[in-house]
Amino acid sequence: MEKKIWSKPEMNEFVFAANEYVAACLDTKNTYLKFVCDFGNKFLDSLFDIYVGVYDNNKTKEENAANSELLTKDYIIPGTGNYHACGDTHYVQKEDGKDWTDYFWVGWADSDSRDGEIGRVTEQVCIWKGEKNDNVHVTTQLGTEIENVTGNRS
C-alpha cells in the first residue's frame, strides 16, 4: 500500500496578455453632420407641432403659423398626431460644397398641440426630415452648433 503525503495547496496565477492586433476600417472619405434629436420629450409627456419657417417676434403666434408650414401634419404619430423627440444621435452624410443649411430647415415649435391653438412657442429649432423624408427629427443644436465628423459615423 502506497502512503499519501500531504502537501501545501498552491495557487497558480495567469495574466492575460493580448497578443493579437485588431485593425478597424476607417471611413476617412465621408463627412457627416452629427446631431441629437433632443427637442421635446421622448416620453410623450409633451407633444409639439413643428413649423418650418422663421418665427417673427413682430407678428402674433397665429400670423406666424399662417406664414409657416405645419410640418407635423404629414408625420402623424399613431394616437397623438404630434411630434416628440426620439432621443437618438443621427448622422447625415454631407456632400462636397454643402453645409448644414442644405440638410436642415430652421423652424419653431408649438407646445400646445393638442387643442389646435398655439401655446408656448419655441422660437428656433433645426429640423431634419430623415434620410428618406419619412420622419421628423428636431434638434436644439442650431446651425453651426451641429457637429461635423469624419469617418465611421463616430
For residue 122, is pLDDT > 70? Answer: yes
For residue 107, tell me if it sits in a domain. yes
Residue 40 cell numbers, joined: 421635446
pLDDT score, position 72: 74
Q: Which domain holds residue 97?
A: 31-150
For residue 78, is pLDDT > 50? Answer: no
pLDDT category at 126 given cuts 50, 70, 90 is very high
Residue 69 amino acid letter: E
Count of domains in the chain? Answer: 1
How many beta carbons lie within 10 A of that of residue 72, not counting itself?
23
